Structure 1
Amino acid sequence: MTGWSPLLRSLPPERRRRLFALARPQSFPAQTRLFEEGETADRFWLIRSGAVALDVYVPGRRTQVVETLGPHQQVGWSWIFPPYRWHLGATAVETVRAWEFDAAQVRALCATDTGLGYELMRLSAAVIADRLQATRLRLLDLYASDGSVPS
């Protein structure tokens, strides 16, 4: 698992093995919609190859891409916090190969292995912070470019 995401590198081998016992390989052709903002967040992915664009609905405009994720990155964090609803949308930009994790199974594993639960929560918080910053910067750029941000 060398070269993998911080999620995998930071987990002790036994916890990583337990988590990956729940993983299944998944692939998405280019232009496949993985999920919509507001839908139930019942899974997440670790990208093996390809790219996924995260987008946000902006009233009065078309959906705006806020970040593009590639190999070794995690797609989805909304599965870990109630009410388990996606905060963004996602589309495969090119063919994606990923490990898919069922959220309910991972949450159940975390309930029995609180150390793993803590690590996943800590790593998910880092992902959330990154996504929030990327979204903020994209929206600032979007609104500043059309002159609608007051000075």
Structure 2
Amino acid sequence: MTSATTMTTALPADQREPLMRLAREVAFETGTRLFEEGRRADRFWIVRTGTVALDARVPGRRPAVIRTLGHGELLGWSWHFPPYLWQLGAEATSPVRAWEFDAGAVLALCAADPGFGRTIAVWVGRVAAERLHASRVRLLDLYAPYGSGDLI
């Protein structure tokens, strides 16, 4: 987990408050698919308890687990960027409790308050960059002849 992916370190308290007013508590059983790569991204979550595996489709193989998320981490960034389609899939690997957010409501709040919108955009952008890097490293570890070369 990096500081960019946790809400409490990425958002100052005055920015967390308006976001949390939009939160809805949800729970998922182990094995629940939260979203599928390529489908419409219209919500996101902050994991409270449990773990969620992010995975990527690999032609001719089982989906590759890219990263596992836990407490305080943002689950889902595709809702913030057109074309609003999930870039990865996600599955609960243990019972999960989370706060769920409707993307449209959060984007409306971002539009109404540019300072809040910028904070959210920077947070989600950092998460997206970190997840894309993790995807690259993991796929190279799994499928490249000499691994990721993470030191490069």
TM-score by length of 1: 0.89
Q: Report the alpha carbon displacement of residue 17 of structure 1 after superposing the two structures with TM.
A: 1.6
In the alignment, which residue of structure 1 is the partner of 2:95? 95
- Is 1:128 the counterpart of 2:128 in the alignment? yes
- Is 1:84 the counterpart of 2:84 in the alignment? yes
Kindly provide the CA deviation profile for residues 45-100 of structure 1, in whole angstroms up to 9, marking residues without a partner as x: 00000000000001111111111101111100000011110000000000000010
Which consecutive unaligned segments of at least 5 residues does structure 1 have? none
Aligned residues: 143
CA contact (8 A) 1:7 1:120 kept: no
Percent of aligned pairs sharing the same letter: 55
Q: For the structure 1 residues 132 and 33, does the alpha-carbon distance in structure 2 shift closer, same or farther, using more than 3 Å as the test?
A: same
Q: Which amino acid aligns with 1:68?
A: T
In the alignment, which residue of structure 2 is the partner of 1:34? 34
Q: Which amino acid aligns with 1:108?
A: A
Q: Report the alpha carbon displacement of residue 127 of structure 1 after superposing the two structures with TM.
A: 0.5
In the alignment, which residue of structure 2 is the partner of 1:144? 144
Which consecutive unaligned segments of at least 5 residues does structure 2 have? 148-152
Q: Report the alpha carbon displacement of residue 18 of structure 1 after superposing the two structures with TM.
A: 1.2
Higher mean displacement: 12-21 or 30-39: 12-21
Q: Which amino acid aligns with 1:34?
A: L
In the alignment, which residue of structure 1 is the partner of 2:17? 17
Larger radius of gyration: 1
SS in 2 for 1:98: strand
- In structure 2, how many angstroms separate the alpha carbons of the residues matched to 1:62 and 1:12? 39
- In structure 2, how many angstroms separate the alpha carbons of the residues matched to 1:58 and 1:146? 19
- In structure 2, how many angstroms separate the alpha carbons of the residues matched to 1:65 and 1:10? 25
- In structure 2, how many angstroms separate the alpha carbons of the residues matched to 1:132 and 1:46? 19
Q: Report the alpha carbon displacement of residue 126 of structure 1 after superposing the two structures with TM.
A: 1.0
- In structure 1, how many angstroms separate the alpha carbons of the residues matched to 2:16 and 2:68? 26
SS in 2 for 1:55: strand
Q: Report the alpha carbon displacement of residue 146 of structure 1 after superposing the two structures with TM.
A: 9.0
Q: Report the alpha carbon displacement of residue 21 of structure 1 after superposing the two structures with TM.
A: 0.8
